[in-house]
């Protein structure tokens, strides 16, 4: 079945450590997105990528980094510079053309202590 | 900032139609209206989208006003499983940046 896989579902890290969240899609989608969600809040855009080897900052990119070396993969690194990294992280993808909807993964819940 | 405004929360009795409004007064001619919903601790799920005409699928109906400045998502016979946060967004045909607001928390009452 086609879809988006985020792993792991739960992730625990110590403060000061970088951590990378995985996002893989087999939908042959061109565009991929990372969102952050805090309790009781909506989704905030971190980074997005329309094509391989290219990506743009969203509204809250500080303290995060991404790469897009393959069409199907868009990993997110939460660096030690991110002041409040504990959150629910969601990855999504969509075709770059046409009026196609976003498809979301089931998220990674990151806890930093 | 999000281009849409929605009520923070709504209640609906089980079995009744749930009508969720969305205001997008600054929408441009090439922007689609999309609806998603998110059940607790899961990724958002696509429901429906439209440009000008009203749309219906197996999940819901979307009514867009003639001036396109607002829309309503209709869940015809709400069940307890429809309890979720519903997001309305607008998006151009090939928009890079897809922004979500805070959505509407819908409570279905037994």
At residue A78, the pLDDT reads: 96
Per-residue pLDDT for chain B (110 aa), expressed as one digit of tens each?
Answer: 668 999 999 999 999 999 999 999 988 888 889 999 999 889 999 999 999 989 999 999 999 999 999 999 999 999 999 999 999 998 865 556 788 888 999 999 99
3-class secondary structure per residue, A62-108: CCEEECCCECCECCEEECCCCCCCCEEEEEEEECCCCCCCCEECCCE
Please state, in angstroms and rounded to a whole number, the distance separating the CA atoms of residues B46 and A102.
7
At residue B100, the pLDDT reads: 87
The residues facing B91 across adjacent strands are B32
Say whether residue B39 is in contact with chain A using an 8 A CB cutoff.
no
Asked if B46 and A101 come within 8 Å (Cβ–Cβ), the reply is: yes
The residues facing A52 across adjacent strands are none
Residue A96 has pLDDT above 80, yes or no: no
At residue B30, the pLDDT reads: 82
Say whether residue B46 is in contact with chain A using an 8 A CB cutoff.
yes
Asked if A102 and B51 come within 8 Å (Cβ–Cβ), the reply is: no
At residue B1, the pLDDT reads: 65
Asked if B41 and A109 come within 8 Å (Cβ–Cβ), the reply is: yes
Min Cα–Cα distance to chain B from A85, Å? 17
Say whether residue B35 is in contact with chain A using an 8 A CB cutoff.
no
pLDDT in tens, A27-36: 999 999 999 9
> Among partner residues B44, B94, B97, which is closest to A45 by beta-carbon distance?
B97
């Amino acid at each position: 079945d086609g879809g988006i896989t985020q792993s792991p579902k739960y992730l625990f890290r110590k403060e000061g450590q970088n951590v990378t969240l995985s996002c893989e899609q087999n939908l042959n989608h061109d565009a991929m997105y990372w969102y952050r969600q805090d309790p009781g809040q909506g989704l905030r855009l971190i980074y997005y990528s329309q094509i391989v080897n290219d990506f743009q900052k969203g509204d809250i990119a500080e303290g995060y980094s991404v790469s897009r070396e393959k069409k199907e993969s868009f990993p997110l690194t939460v660096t030690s510079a991110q002041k409040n990294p504990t959150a629910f992280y969601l990855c999504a993808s969509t075709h770059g053309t046409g009026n196609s909807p976003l498809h979301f993964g089931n998220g990674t819940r990151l806890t930093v202590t | 900032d999000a281009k849409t405004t929605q009520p923070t929360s709504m209640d609906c009795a089980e079995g009744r139609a749930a009508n969720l409004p969305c205001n997008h007064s600054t929408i441009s001619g090439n922007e689609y209206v999309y609806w998603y919903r998110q059940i607790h601790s899961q990724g958002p799920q696509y429901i429906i989208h439209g440009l000008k005409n009203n749309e219906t699928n197996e999940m819901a109906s979307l009514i867009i006003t003639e001036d396109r400045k607002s829309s309503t998502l209709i869940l015809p016979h709400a069940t307890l499983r429809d309890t979720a946060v519903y997001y309305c967004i607008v998006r151009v045909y090939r928009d890079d940046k897809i922004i979500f607001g805070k959505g509407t928390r819908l409570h279905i009452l037994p």
